[in-house]
Chain A
Amino acid sequence: MARVLVGVKRVIDYAVKIRVKPDHSGVVTDGVKHSMNPFCEIAVEEAVRLKEKKVIKEVVAVSCGPQQVQETIRTALAMGADRGIHVEVSGKDYEALGPLQVSKILAALAKKEEAKMVILGKQAIDDDCNQTGQMTAALLDWPQGTFASEVAVEGDTVKVVREIDGGLETIKINLPAVVTADLRLNTPRYATLPNIMKAKKKKIAKVKPADLGVDLTSRVEVLRVDEPPQRQAGGSGTGVESEECTDTQEGLCLGDGPNQGGPVSHGDWDKPEPEPGPEPLCVCDPAPPVSTESEQWDTVL
């Protein structure tokens, strides 16, 4: 088993409040903090873990877009990927870049790099398409394990536990295969400063879509982009209830639209994350236990 291709997407940071352009042609991206799509982080982490288990030899991180996506690739390299491929797409082409175009690029690269597996995030938090993995698998005519919450390579097959409505589904598929990561697959490691520095020594190859024989024409036209409807002002409650009331309001707002950055209540940061009641994290939850010290960590310093 040789190589795994991981797709990483540069998106507007999840904590940023998304603003729609006045002409409704899209969202404001200039001067806005970007970072790696959270689901792509999970995909990178899974690939790196497979490498650490010596199941695979090399992890290649791919991203399509303008010069800035190199930062995202660099983050993937800092997390443990071995090398990067930057597919140069800019200007009009980048604006029209959709799941179909990206999956064509990924399929071409998977063939070129002779990858045994393509691991992607299940969807990006900006367009919420949830299509790239599926289309890549279709274009390559490979089996797919989508919404993976567990991945185990067994010889020439891979066992994927999938998150489906109301439960889990375990499937066994032949390699090569496309796997898309769900939220609970793993806990992505943080790209620390020393690792980012080390990652600067790793190579990022530049490729043009034309070199891969990929046509980027889009068949989708974005007619209009709108903000989700304004939420209603909350009524006032009493005591503890009122606090919970605002929490729910915020939860509502965050759940409203996929493109909603959602307001981050900075003031509440010192307190444990406001949750309506103690939220039982799922059994398969990979979240590390955070001690109370972290919540009051300001006093630690």
Chain B
Amino acid sequence: MANLLRGEVIKLYKNLLYLGREYPKGASYFKDRLKTAFMKNRDETDPEKIKQLIARGQFVIKELEALYYLRKYRAMKRRYYDSDE
């Protein structure tokens, strides 16, 4: 069980790290935060709790994707569609 979750956590970390490369404040800024967040819960052993934390990570992934999309969408809108400016 623990091993199964371990893989999940590592996968989550990798995915977040990949997403962080596009982070506007810089990849290293993101990486530091990411690592701190994961290290904070390093001693968690309760599988239920770990699952909850993974779910939160998934949520952050979704939010980041939405954020990147919105940022791009707004940039495009501002450049090509706001004629009054």
Contacts and interface: CB of A to CB of B under 8 A. Distances in A.
Interface of A: 14-15, 38-39, 125, 183, 187-188, 190, 192-194, 248, 251-252, 254-255, 258, 260, 262, 264, 266, 269, 273, 275, 287-288, 290-291, 293-294, 297-298, 300-301
Contacts of A301: 33-34, 36-37, 60
Nearest to B67: A294
A254 B81 CA distance: 11
Nearest to B24: A269
B55 interface: no
B77 to A, nearest CB: 7
B70 A251 contact: no
B14 interface: yes
Nearest to A35: B22
Contact of A15 (B11, B33, B75, B77): B75
B79 interface: yes
Contacts of B11: 194
Contacts of A254: 75, 78-79
Contacts of B78: 251, 254-255
Interface of B: 11, 14-15, 18-19, 24-26, 33-34, 36-37, 56, 59-61, 63-82, 85
A297 B67 contact: yes
Contacts, number: 91
A251 B64 contact: no
Contact of B24 (A39, A255, A262, A266): A266
Nearest to B83: A255
A15 B24 CA distance: 9
Nearest to A274: B74
Interface centre among B26, B36, B64, B72 (most CB of A within 10 A): B72
Contact of B85 (A15, A252, A258, A298): A252
B71 A183 contact: no
11 contacts: A187-B69, A190-B68, A193-B15, A193-B18, A194-B11, A254-B75, A255-B79, A258-B80, A262-B79, A264-B24, A301-B33
Interface centre among A190, A248, A260, A262 (most CB of B within 10 A): A190
Contacts of B72: 14, 38
